[in-house]
């Protein structure tokens, strides 16, 4: 017992915070991060290199940069600078407490709800969000949930006053949960295989019908024959104009194959989300250049005969085959483990730089914002983080600074404050 | 001529068809004439199988008044007997099905239950019934027996003449009766009125909440058997609170050890569980098996139970569509291949068993499957015993049925050919009365006849099987026959005879007079008749097929423990080891030792030091660049639990025991080993304030449930506070169970523990009584719920208390301080950092999540720095998983304390090794790499707390249970075995699809603390989940369940 009494009380060195954590203010001066290891993602890692932020942009990177007048200098030598991490496929801002229904805005009623926009419910004041930033995540894609055609997602920056302020870009994609194809063998399942196949086929027919309608509607609008507005089909028009991507949530190999087949007809900009079995068809996905957002970095094997590390090793397999992939950690409070999930992929064979890219630059590209986000490049947004050590490793990650669009972000959060409060309790 | 007479004689009996009462109705007054039908019958020239292994050729069986009068070893029938020539036929004793619900009242349908319904906690009381609606041992099912001709037919067609029957509903189902399948008065068909008790784990139609889990059912059985023993003593006496009540089911169970129990077990694990609980009360079991016995045959054998085996071999898994195999496990493919070998495996193990038709989708498959079982190694006489003598024993009628012997019931099966080869049953005799299924001597009209018609010589040719065709010819002239048909012994056809010079279309009838001689007549449209005779050479008889013998199956599948892809064929050997040059994380005061050796001897850590010499014969592991840590210990796990993690029905269910339902087949045991975990403390869920008893296991993959148990761990129990126990998230119907507030939780704890003290006092008071006082006083009833609480109060059973918020944690400590005992470990304890001082003062330990929060309101103040907050205040803290996923990576869960609050890395490692060992009070044995402790350790390829660490090997007591290289090799073997079995299924085509449709084990669920559905009611889950049918939604819902 004596051992832990001797433990040093460890606190992140942060200014004492009021309970409200305001979004960062625009910098009034240039900021120079001096002497850090810059993990650019786009062009390798640069040791002992300076990075200059001017007007919210990365103005320069290089050894011993000249310090502009009035610049704020932050010594980050021995520390690591990364582009801000981007968490795809989350429900951040849509839910606060899973079992408190009033806080849950994730899922609209009905199976076909393309009209809903995730950012319309995004709670920029969620107490969850600061805990996500604390782990190096600057942006999150917030996604409506559902059971067939779920709605449209947006990319949010995580330090905004309200959703409009926080909206980085959106809507980005229409989300479809692909109907099940395989059989369910759970203990409660009493339908015969034939009954299950029938139900699965019906759900697929329903989905096909949705797209037939949406397409006819779009063409009718173009021709002027469709005079009445239908919010559902109106919301899907972007798919046909190329303004909206299609994100297909599918896990089973047969679903992935069916969706590829489906998209031969439509030719949408289609990305797979979840994609548990993507490793089985990595070559096909690489050949077709179908992007994959792999959502199971810590996944359990989905089949009893699968290796215990099948999900762990999937990113490495996708990378080896040349698949264009990102790594996600779907969820809300737990999405903060994104970097560790990428680290686990490294433990099971993924190249380190590829792992970093899978949670920064590739997600930025998938969201259509890689011109401004996702890597440390001159001219891009100064959206970056400084970590005491390796950001993918629990033992190294400690986020000392975060900048979003050049604004320094307050890293405090409800949890830290509670801990600090009780650390101040006198011993008795 | 012999055969001719048989032909005629038998058809005469069939034609008679009168209902002849074999046994007189002995007590009903006769209102009409007194009928005295002759009942003396002799079946002559038969092959008699009087009992398995005894075969009499050319013997005569004499029956009278429904019983066998004698067996004569010659062909002489007694004078006056009606003779039935059974030449060429084999007669077996009538078969007995020991497990049925024939002729008894059916149970009530299971009504809708679930969170949309008001829960029902009690049982409607009438007639001194039991307090639990699933216990109705007082029912005697003979009382509802009425013969059912329709239901009997399904049995009789297969050769059955009697069944043991009861209503198959509930846990103690009442006593079975053994009845004849004859269509007679109940008074005549009941062979045994008070047969065995029937029982199961399934509460059936009971609408009462308790029990909702397998462990609840086991506890209820245990309490009921104990109560029955108590009631036997206490009946008629006075207890401390008045005269002992009347209790019908307890009275009925007074002699259960003599009466015996037939127990329905859904799989071999439940067979073992049932045998254990009944053995505690010396009650012998006969178990209705599942067909999976072969997969743990030695354990099944060691129970000493007699088995009743179903023959529902499964149809092959569906593999038609491309990649359909993605839904099919090797586990199922193996079972498809090996299920027909189960009877042989059981027989070869020397287990006594009977067959039943129960559980067979299509009754027509019964004989095909028996023959298949023989091809898979079962001896025909074993099969016969399983249909006759053994079920006669089980059904308590061995003195009157199951054999052909004088004085036994005239219940017979007459077959053409050997039934176990390819014979067919032609008739079944029930109480001396024949029920004809097929003609004993069916006429075959196929062949060429010489016909004399109207002075002309014609040739009649008949051919075809089933559908006949034929022609009449004379020289070159041919006439095709139309309207050909035949019945028992007549052939009919129509032919136009004009071509033969006889005008008109004629309708013919032909019948045999002898084996070769026939006569017939033809009628023309003018109603004129021509008579004729015909002869046909004697048809060649096909020689009888060689009698089927036990086959030797060649399986392409493996048989492993457990019988799943990653199962093992042998237990790893205990190895003496020299681990060289590792970074050793001792988790004790030695700290982290670089370039250090470990010597493991006889399963224990023998030496730790630098540059140690290798003892002779020791295996060397070069661990240069590797790290060694103690095996990881998880304080809070729900893996390896069968059929329900919560008995969350009543507020206090301290009597239920996870140890009763350990599931050694759970693949998560193996997966957790692959993550470096060696010990898991399996806990009851958190749906009620005082849940169930915990069970620690070592992850000795391949062992049975008993072999997994970590027996050195002192008894534990799960308790729970907060939202789950006050049913905050259970919907509007669940608002009637006390407690609904944290105030009530504290009050309830005080009340139950106080009552346990008083229970103890009552037992002590009784012990002090004089002998004469004891004769007048009922002994105190053993109450397992109270016994368990008493152990807690006496600090003999360590509490692990699910808790979240500060108030409830302090309140519980307050209550138990008052009662004079201690809370051992708070688990989850998410606000422990707020009340760490109070916890330290009480002496409580803590086990928490690394970073879970925000899944419900009481988790809103959870912080990932909780570990540091408690450790800094001197509270012994561990990290637990509460999840089959996190249990595979507790190392990085511990590392989160390094991340969030800068904990020392070695201390962080102790949170998943030494400290949980201390919380389970087994740090003497495990938890650190200390000389003398058990050699449970993990070899890592990198710093064990880093994101990049991968366990390479996991050892328990000097046995290697996981090896990454071996695992990779195993995957290739699994792929190959799958391929072989897929080919086998696909190559068999539709043949593979024959069999039971639901023949495989359902995938067990992943349990969570809060999963509190009733495992005996799958319907509501089926509906709920098929409605959403979304993988994401389901997993999402489950995430909240802590």
pLDDT in tens, A392-416: 999 999 999 999 999 999 999 999 9
Q: Cβ of B899 under 8 Å from any chain A Cβ?
A: yes
Last residue of a domain, one of B474, B506, B535: B535
**Smallest Cα distance from B208 to chain A, Å:** 20
Does A185 contact B327 at a Cβ distance shorter than 8 Å?
Answer: yes
Task: Say if residue B558's pLDDT is above 50.
Answer: yes
Q: Could you tell me if B504 and B579 lie in one domain? A: no
Is B529 a member of any domain? yes
Q: Which of residues 392-451 of B touch A (CB under 8 A)?
A: none
- Tens digit of each residue's pLDDT (9 = 90 or more) over B764-783: 999 999 999 999 999 999 99
Interface contact B876, partner A, CB < 8 A:
yes
- A394 contacts B947? CB cut-off 8 A: yes
CB contact under 8 A, A97 and B855: yes
Domain boundary among B909, B935, B957: B957
Asked if B967 is an interface residue toward chain A (Cβ–Cβ < 8 A), one would say yes
Q: Is the pLDDT of residue B541 over 80?
A: no
Which residues of chain B lie closer than 8 angstroms to A190, CB-CB? 1018-1019, 1022
CATH number of the domain at B943, please.
2.30.40.10
Residue B738 maps to a domain: no
Cβ-Cβ contacts under 8 Å, A348 against chain B = 950
Assess whether pLDDT exceeds 50 at residue B501. yes
**CATH topology (fold) of A85-373:** TIM Barrel (3.20.20)
Q: How many Å lie between the alpha carbon of B363 and the closest alpha carbon of chain A?
A: 20
Cβ distance of B885 and A300 shorter than 8 Å: yes
Residue B396 in this model has a pLDDT that exceeds 60: yes
Task: Supply B578's token pair.
Answer: 């020299």
Q: Provide the percentage of residues in chain B whose pLDDT is more than 70.
A: 94
Domain that holds residue B521: 447-535
Q: Report the pLDDT value the prediction gives residue B1007, as an integer from 0 to 100.
A: 78
Minimal CA separation from B1007 to chain A, in Å:
12
> In B, which residues are within 8 Å of A344 by CB distance?
889, 892, 947
| A chain contacts of residue B674, beta-carbon cutoff 8 Å | 308-309
Is residue B299 one of the residues assigned to a domain?
Answer: no
The alpha carbon of residue B224 is apart from the nearest alpha carbon of chain A, in Å, by: 29
Lowest mean pLDDT among A212-216, B15-19, B146-150, B896-900: B15-19
Sort out which chain B residues have CB atoms less than 8 A from A309's CB and list them.
674
pLDDT reading at B371 higher than 80: yes
Q: How far apart are CA B365 and CA B664, in angstroms?
A: 33
Question: pLDDT at residue B510 above 70?
Answer: yes
Q: Taking residues B23-37, what's their average pLDDT?
A: 79
User: Does residue B797 fall inside a structural domain?
Assistant: no
Asked if residue B599 is part of any domain, the answer here is yes
State which residues of chain A have pLDDT below 70. Answer: 1-19, 428
| Structural domain ending residue among the three candidates B940, B957, B974 | B957
Confirm or reject CATH 3.30.365.10 for domain A1-84+375-418, answering yes or no.
no
Mutation target vs B (from A187, A253, A273, A346; most B CBs, 10 A cutoff)? A187
Asked if the model's pLDDT at residue B195 lies above 80, the reply is yes
Parallel, antiparallel or unpaired: strands A45-54 and A57-62: antiparallel
For testing the chain A interface, which of B854, B954, B970 should be mutated: the one with the most A CBs within 10 Å?
B854
- B907 has a chain A CB within 8 A of its CB: yes
Instruction: Say what the pLDDT of residue B102 is.
Output: 97
Query: Please, which pLDDT band fits residue B1018 given cuts at 50, 70 and 90?
Result: low
Of all residues in chain B, the one with the smallest CA distance to A189 is B1022
Q: Please give the average per-residue pLDDT across B565-581, as a whole number.
A: 97
Mean pLDDT computed over B898-919 = 98
The whole-model pTM stands at 0.92
Same domain, B469 and B517: yes
pLDDT band at residue B452, thresholds of 50, 70 and 90?
A: confident
Per-residue pLDDT, B453:
84
User: Residue B111: its pLDDT value, please?
Assistant: 65
Distance from A423 to chain B by nearest Cα, in Å? 7
Sequence-separated contacts (24+) of A322-325 with Cβ below 8 Å: A322/A286, A323/A278, A323/A282, A323/A285, A323/A286, A323/A290, A323/A292, A324/A286, A324/A289, A324/A290, A324/A291, A324/A292, A324/A362, A325/A278, A325/A291, A325/A292, A325/A293, A325/A294, A325/A358, A325/A362
Whether residue A295 lies within 8 A of chain B, CB to CB, comes out as no
> Cα(B1042)–Cα(B1037) distance, rounded to whole angstroms?
11
Whether the predicted pLDDT of B162 surpasses 60: yes
Residue B488 has pLDDT above 90, yes or no: no
Considering its fold, how many domains does chain B have in total? 2
Residue B42 has pLDDT above 90, yes or no: yes
CA distance A333 to chain B (A): 7
Say if residue A424 is exposed, middle or buried (CB neighbours under 10 Å; 0-12, 13-18, 19+).
Answer: exposed
Average pLDDT over residues B845-874: 97
Q: What is the pLDDT of residue B26?
A: 81
Determine the average pLDDT of the residues in B379-388. Answer: 98
Nearest beta carbon to residue A395 from set B872, B898, B997: B898
Q: Does B605 touch chain A (CB under 8 A)?
A: no
Mean pLDDT of B702-725: 97
The predicted pLDDT at position B320 comes to: 85
- Per-residue pLDDT, A1: 40
Contacts of B1002 in chain A (CB under 8 A): 185-189
Whether residue A101 lies within 8 A of chain B, CB to CB, comes out as no
Chain A residue numbers with beta carbons less than 8 Å from the beta carbon of B915 are: none
- Cβ of B326 within 8 Å of Cβ of A347? The answer is no
User: In the prediction, which pLDDT does B16 show?
Assistant: 39
Chain A neighbors of B968, CB-CB under 8 A: 307
pLDDT for residue A10: 43
Residue B29 touches chain A, beta carbons under 8 Å:
no
B591 in contact with A, Cβ within 8 Å: no
Q: What is the pLDDT of residues B64-103, one digit of tens each?
A: 999 999 999 877 889 999 999 898 899 999 999 999 999 9
ipTM computed for the complex = 0.95
**pLDDT, average across residues B718-741:** 92
Judged against a pLDDT cut of 90, whether residue B1024 lies above it is answered with no
**B22 pLDDT more than 90:** no
* Cβ-nearest to B1003 among A127, A187, A394: A187
Q: A289 at the B interface (CB within 8 A)?
A: no
Q: Sort out which chain A residues have CB atoms less than 8 A from B1029's CB and list them.
A: 147, 180, 199, 203
Instruction: Flag whether B466 is in a domain.
Output: yes
> What confidence score (pLDDT) does residue B1021 get?
54
Q: Name the residue facing B854 among A128, A185, A187 (closest C-beta).
A: A128
Interface contact flag, B874 A303, Cβ < 8 Å:
no
Contact A308 B670 (CB under 8 A): yes
In a domain, B361, yes or no: no
Query: Shortest Cα distance from B12 to chain A (angstroms)?
Result: 49
Nearest-by-Cβ selection for A4 from B871, B950, B978 = B871
Mean pLDDT rounded to a whole number for chain B: 92
List every span in chain A annotated with CATH 3.20.20.140.
85-373
- Contact A252/B1005, CB-based, under 8 Å? no
For residues B420 and B547, is the Cβ–Cβ distance under 8 A? yes
In a domain, B253, yes or no: no
Banded model confidence at residue B36, pLDDT cuts 50, 70, 90: confident
| B877 contacts A4? CB cut-off 8 A | yes
Query: Six-digit token pair at B432?
Result: 């001396």
Inter-chain contact A304–B729, Cβ cutoff 8 Å?
no
Q: How confident is the model at residue B112 (pLDDT cuts 50, 70, 90)?
A: low
Determine the residue among B863, B950, B1039 to mutate to test chain A binding: the one whose Cβ has the most chain A Cβ atoms within 10 Å.
B863
B995 to chain A: which residues are within 8 Å by CB? none
Are B907 and A3 in contact (CB < 8 Å)?
Answer: yes
CB distance from A233 to chain B under 8 Å?
Answer: no
């Amino acid at each position: 017992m004596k051992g832990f009494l001797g433990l040093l009380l460890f606190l992140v060195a942060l200014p004492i915070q009021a309970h409200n954590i305001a979004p960062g203010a625009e910098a009034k001066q240039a900021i120079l991060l001096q002497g850090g290891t810059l993990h650019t993602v786009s062009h390798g890692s640069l040791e002992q290199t300076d990075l200059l932020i001017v007007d919210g942009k990365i103005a320069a990177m290089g050894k011993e940069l000249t310090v502009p007048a009035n610049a704020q200098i932050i010594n980050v030598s021995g520390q690591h600078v990364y582009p801000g991490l981007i968490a795809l496929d989350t429900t951040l801002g849509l839910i606060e407490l899973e079992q408190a229904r009033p806080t849950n805005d994730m899922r609209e009623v009905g199976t076909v709800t393309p009209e809903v926009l995730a950012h319309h419910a995004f709670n920029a004041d969620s107490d969850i969000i600061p805990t996500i930033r604390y782990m190096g995540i600057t942006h999150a894609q917030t996604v409506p949930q559902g059971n067939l055609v779920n709605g449209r997602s947006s990319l949010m920056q995580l330090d905004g006053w309200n959703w409009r302020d926080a909206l980085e870009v959106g809507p980005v994609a229409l989300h479809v949960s692909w109907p099940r194809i395989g059989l369910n063998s759970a203990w409660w399942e009493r339908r015969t295989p034939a009954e299950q196949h029938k139900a699965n086929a019906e759900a697929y027919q329903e989905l096909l019908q949705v797209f037939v309608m949406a397409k006819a509607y779009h063409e009718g609008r173009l021709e002027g024959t469709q005079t009445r507005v239908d919010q559902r089909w109106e919301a899907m028009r972007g798919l046909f104009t190329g303004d909206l991507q299609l994100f297909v949530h599918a896990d089973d190999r047969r679903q992935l194959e069916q969706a590829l087949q489906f998209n031969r007809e439509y030719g949408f900009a289609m990305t797979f989300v979840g994609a548990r079995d993507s490793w089985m068809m990595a070559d096909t996905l690489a050949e077709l250049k179908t992007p994959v957002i792999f959502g199971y970095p810590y996944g359990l094997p989905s089949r009893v005969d699968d290796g215990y590390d099948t999900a762990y090793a999937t990113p490495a397999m996708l990378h080896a085959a040349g698949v264009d992939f990102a790594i996600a950690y779907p969820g809300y409070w737990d999405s903060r483990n994104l970097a560790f999930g990428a680290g686990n992929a490294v433990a099971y064979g993924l190249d380190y730089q590829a792992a970093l890219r899978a949670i920064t630059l590739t997600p930025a590209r998938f969201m259509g914002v890689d011109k401004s986000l996702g890597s440390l490049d001159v001219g891009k947004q100064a959206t970056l983080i400084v970590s005491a050590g390796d950001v993918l490793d629990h033992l190294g990650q400690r986020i000392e600074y975060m900048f979003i669009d050049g604004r320094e972000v307050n890293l405090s959060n409800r949890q830290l404050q509670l801990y600090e409060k009780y650390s101040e309790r006198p011993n008795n | 001529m012999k055969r001719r007479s048989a032909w005629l004689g038998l058809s005469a009996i069939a034609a008679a068809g009168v209902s002849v009462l074999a046994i007189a109705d002995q007590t009903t007054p006769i209102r009409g004439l007194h009928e005295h039908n002759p009942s003396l019958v002799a079946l002559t020239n038969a092959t008699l199988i009087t009992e398995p292994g005894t075969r009499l050729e050319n013997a005569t069986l004499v029956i009278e008044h429904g019983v066998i009068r004698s067996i004569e070893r010659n062909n002489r029938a007694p004078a006056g007997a009606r003779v039935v020539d059974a030449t060429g036929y084999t007669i077996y004793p009538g078969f007995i099905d020991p497990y049925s619900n024939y002729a008894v009242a059916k149970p009530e349908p299971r009504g809708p239950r679930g969170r949309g319904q008001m829960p029902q906690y009690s049982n409607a009381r009438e007639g001194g019934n039991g307090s639990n609606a699933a216990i109705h041992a007082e029912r005697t099912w003979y009382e509802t027996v009425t013969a059912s001709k329709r239901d009997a037919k399904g049995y009789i067609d297969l050769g059955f003449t009697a069944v043991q029957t009861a209503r198959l509903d509930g846990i103690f189902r009442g006593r079975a009766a053994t009845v004849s399948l004859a269509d007679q008065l109940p008074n005549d068909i009941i062979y045994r009125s008070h047969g065995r008790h029937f029982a199961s784990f399934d509460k059936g139609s009971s609408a009462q909440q308790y029990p909702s889990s397998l462990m609840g059912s086991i506890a209820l059985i245990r309490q009921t058997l104990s109560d029955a023993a108590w009631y036997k003593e206490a009946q008629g006496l006075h207890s401390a609170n008045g005269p002992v009540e009347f209790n019908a089911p307890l009275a009925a169970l007074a002699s259960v050890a003599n009466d015996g129990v037939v127990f329905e077990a859904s799989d071999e694990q439940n067979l073992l569980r049932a045998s254990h609980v009944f053995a505690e009360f010396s009650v012998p079991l006969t178990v209705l098996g599942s067909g999976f016995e072969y997969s743990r045959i030695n354990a099944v054998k060691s129970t000493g139970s007699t088995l009743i085996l179903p023959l529902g071999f499964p149809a092959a898994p569906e593999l038609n569509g491309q990649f359909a195999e993605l839904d099919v496990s090797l586990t199922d493919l193996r079972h498809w291949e090996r299920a027909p070998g189960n009877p042989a495996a059981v027989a070869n193990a020397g287990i006594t068993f009977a067959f039943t038709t129960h559980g067979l989708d299509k009754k027509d498959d019964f004989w095909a499957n028996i023959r298949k079982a023989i091809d898979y190694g079962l001896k025909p006489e074993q099969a016969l015993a399983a249909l006759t003598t053994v079920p006669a024993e089980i059904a308590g009628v061995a003195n009157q049925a199951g054999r052909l012997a004088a004085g036994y019931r005239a219940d017979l099966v007459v077959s053409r050919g050997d039934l176990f080869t390819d014979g067919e049953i032609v008739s079944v005799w029930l109480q001396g009365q024949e029920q004809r299924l097929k003609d004993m001597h069916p006429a075959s009209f196929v062949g060429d006849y010489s016909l004399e018609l109207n002075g002309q010589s014609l040739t009649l040719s008949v051919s075809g099987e089933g559908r006949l065709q034929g022609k009449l010819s004379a020289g070159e002239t041919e006439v095709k026959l139309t309207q050909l048909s035949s019945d028992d012994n007549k052939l009919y056809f129509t032919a136009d005879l004009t071509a033969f010079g006889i005008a008109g279309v004629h309708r013919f009838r032909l019948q045999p007079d002898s084996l070769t001689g026939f006569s017939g007549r033809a009628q023309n449209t003018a109603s004129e008749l021509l008579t004729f005779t015909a002869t046909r050479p004697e048809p060649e008889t096909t020689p009888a097929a060689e009698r089927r013998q036990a086959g030797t199956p060649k399986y392409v599948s493996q048989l492993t423990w457990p019988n799943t892809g990653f199962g093992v064929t042998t237990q790893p050997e205990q190895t003496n080891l020299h681990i060289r040059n590792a970074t050793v994380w001792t988790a004790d005061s030695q700290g982290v030792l670089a370039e250090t050796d470990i010597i493991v001897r006889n399963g224990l850590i023998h030496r730790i030091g630098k540059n140690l010499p290798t003892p002779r014969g020791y295996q060397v592991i070069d661990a240069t660049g590797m790290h060694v840590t103690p095996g990881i210990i998880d304080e809070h796990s729900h893996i390896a639990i069968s059929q329900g993690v919560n008995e969350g029905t009543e507020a206090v269910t301290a009597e239920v025991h996870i140890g009763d339902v350990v599931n050694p087949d759970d693949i998560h045991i193996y997966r957790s080993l692959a993550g470096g975990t060696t010990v898991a403390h399996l806990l009851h869920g958190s749906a009620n304030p005082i849940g169930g008893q915990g069970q620690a296991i070592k992850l000795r993959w391949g062992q049975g449930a008993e072999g997994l148990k970590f027996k050195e761990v002192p008894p534990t129990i799960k308790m729970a506070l907060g939202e789950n126990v006050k049913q905050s998230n259970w919907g509007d119907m669940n608002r009637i169970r006390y407690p609904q507030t944290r105030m009530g939780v504290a009050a309830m704890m005080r009340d139950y523990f106080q009552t346990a003290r008083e229970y103890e006092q009552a037992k002590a008071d009784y012990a002090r009584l004089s002998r004469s006082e004891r004769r007048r006083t009922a002994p105190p009833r053993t109450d397992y719920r109270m016994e368990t609480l008493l152990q807690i109060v006496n600090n003999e059973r360590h509490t692990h208390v699910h808790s979240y918020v500060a108030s409830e944690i302090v309140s519980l400590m307050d209550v138990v301080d008052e009662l004079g005992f201690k809370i051992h470990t708070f688990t989850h304890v998410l606000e422990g950092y707020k009340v760490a001082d109070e916890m330290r003062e009480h002496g409580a330990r803590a086990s928490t999540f690394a970073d879970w929060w925000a899944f419900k309101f009481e988790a809103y103040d959870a912080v990932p720095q909780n570990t540091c907050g408690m450790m800094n205040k001197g509270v012994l803290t561990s990290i637990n998983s509460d999840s089959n996923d996190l249990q595979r990576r507790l190392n990085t869960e511990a590392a989160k304390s390094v991340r969030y609050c800068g904990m020392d890395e070695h201390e962080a490692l102790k949170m998943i090794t030494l400290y949980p060992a201390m919380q389970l009070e087994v740090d003497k044995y495990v938890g650190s790499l200390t000389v003398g402790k058990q050699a449970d350790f993990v070899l890592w390829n990198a710093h064990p707390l880093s994101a990049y660490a991968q366990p390479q090997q996991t050892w328990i007591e000097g046995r290697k249970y996981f090896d990454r290289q071996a695992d990779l090799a195993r995957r290739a073997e699994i792929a190959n075995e799958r391929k072989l079995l897929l080919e086998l299924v696909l190559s068999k085509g539709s043949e593979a699809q024959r069999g039971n449709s639901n023949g495989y084990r359902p995938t067990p669920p992943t349990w969570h603390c809060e999963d509190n559905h009733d495992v005996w009611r799958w319907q509501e889950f089926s509906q709920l989940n098929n409605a959403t049918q979304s993988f994401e939604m389901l997993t999402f819902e489950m995430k909240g369940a802590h």
